[in-house]
Amino acid sequence: MQPAAAKDRVQVPGTVTEFRNAELIAKVADAKTISVSTDTTRTIPCFDLRNVDQLPPIEKTKLITEFGNALRDVGFVAVYAPELAAKIKQALEITEQYFGQSEEDLMKDWHNNKGQSGYSPKGLETAAGAKKPDNKKTFFVTENMPSWPNYPQNFKPFMQDYLQSLGKLSNQLMRYLLTYLGEEELANSNVIEKGDRRVRLAMYPIPQPGDAVGAAAHFDLNSLTVLPKPSRPGLQLLTKEGEWLPVVVPDEYVIINLGDIMNKLTAGYIKGTLHQVVLENDPNNQKPRFATILFASLPDDFKLTPFQKCAELMTKNMTPSDAGQYLSQFGNETVLDNLLGRLTEMGSFDPSDEEFIRLRKLGLIKEPSEAVQTKYAHLLGPAPK
Ligand SMILES: O=C(O)CCC(=O)C(=O)O
Ligand SMILES: [Fe+2]
């Protein structure tokens, strides 16, 4: 069956509303219409948060507020983390060695869509609304790996330590973010530690002509993402003015951005930022691009009910009935449901038919990729007459 024919048969759900701007995603997926900023002086906000907890209360609040506002307004911020620089460099070296193996050897580590830990070959992941799969190979290092690659030899001990180190930073930043969002009690509970942290190693091959997009425009699926400096540039964020802005990671800094879960938890107060990876063909650098990224999530069973202060802020100019209706679209699912819904949309998770129906009822499968539409066509409704 041709994907286009399958698409025609699918009943597209009527309510792609709320903050994930489906129109914008479609526009971006159609690509080319959005220009890339040529303003090389433009950079993302940079923070040194190493001493936040030692600051007097007023200064602490001020810094945390600036950090939170920057995440809300710009979407991506840089955080000074010189203590991680050597590890980040080594992580890139190990990542390059790992992906230097033959496809046959890499496939020994394939997770086979039974979870995320391990290797994902090219073509398995399609961003919501995108026309074709991302041009990348990835490997997820998780806290409970069922098995580890044999090569390179130091992969396991190094990556366990790397996950811990990046995880420690993400826990701290999450604490500041929750404080900013008025959730001090949650920030100081053990909920953050109980959440999930995983590192994704990625290899983006040298692009062929006309095929520069390594990762199509997307919002991250998790709550907080830490992006250490990659082996070469390519990351771009979509500004509020509607332009792609190349993200340059200053030396000794890491980049932070927020994902889908925060959209829901803040009732759209922090919308998240669309971003993509585009590889310039640089005649002086004919190597693939390598990146090592930490994704942090709140615990799987955490309910995505908007935080009180955010809900109040977002509905303060609404009538009680409008406010009720606006808020009713949030909070019916858990972190895990949300993740499974998005992974299913992207073709990275194969739920049973029963699970597919459950996730769809929760409104979590809104923008299935064409491959997913084809696979689950029998559940997506009959062809329109
Ligand atoms: O490779 C990068 O720089 C970013 C990749 C990304 O956005 C992702 O994996 O979610
Ligand atoms: Fe991303």
pLDDT, tens digit, 9 for 90 and up, residues 307-335: 999 999 999 999 999 999 999 888 888 99
DSSP output for 88-107:
HHHHHHHHHHHHTS-HHHHG
* Ligand 1 pocket: which of 134, 200, 227 to mutate (most atoms within 8 A of CB): 227
Lowest mean pLDDT among 199-213, 249-263, 312-326: 199-213
Which numbered atom of ligand 1 lies nearest the CA of 225?
Answer: 10
Identity of the residue numbered 272:
G
Please report, for the chain, the start and end positions of each structural domain, with discontinuous segments joined by +: 16-317
Q: Which fold has domain 16-317?
A: Jelly Rolls (2.60.120)
Q: Which residue has the higher pLDDT, 105 or 371?
A: 105
Q: How confident is the model at residue 345 (pLDDT cuts 50, 70, 90)?
A: confident
**Where does residue 216 rank: exposed (0-12), middle (13-18), buried (19+ CB within 10 A)?**
buried
Averaged pLDDT score across all residues of the chain: 85
Global pTM reads 0.87
CB 226 within 8 A of CB 296: yes
Alpha-helical regions (H) of the chain: 3-9, 22-29, 57-73, 85-99, 103-106, 155-180, 184-187, 191-194, 260-265, 308-315, 320-328, 335-346, 353-361, 370-375
**pLDDT surpasses 80 at 8:** no
> Which DSSP symbol is given to 303?
B
The atom number, within ligand 1, closest to the CA of 214 reads 1
* Interval 22-50 mean pLDDT: 68
Tokens of 227: 């992006």
Of the residues 293, 295, 348, which should be mutated to test ligand 1's pocket, given the most ligand atoms within 8 Å of the CB? 293
Band the pLDDT of 96: cuts 50, 70, 90. very high
- Mean pLDDT over residues 35-62, rounded? 86
Asked which of 24-28, 175-179, 244-248, 290-294 is least confident by mean pLDDT, the reply is 24-28
pLDDT band at 32 (very low <50, low <70, confident <90, very high): low
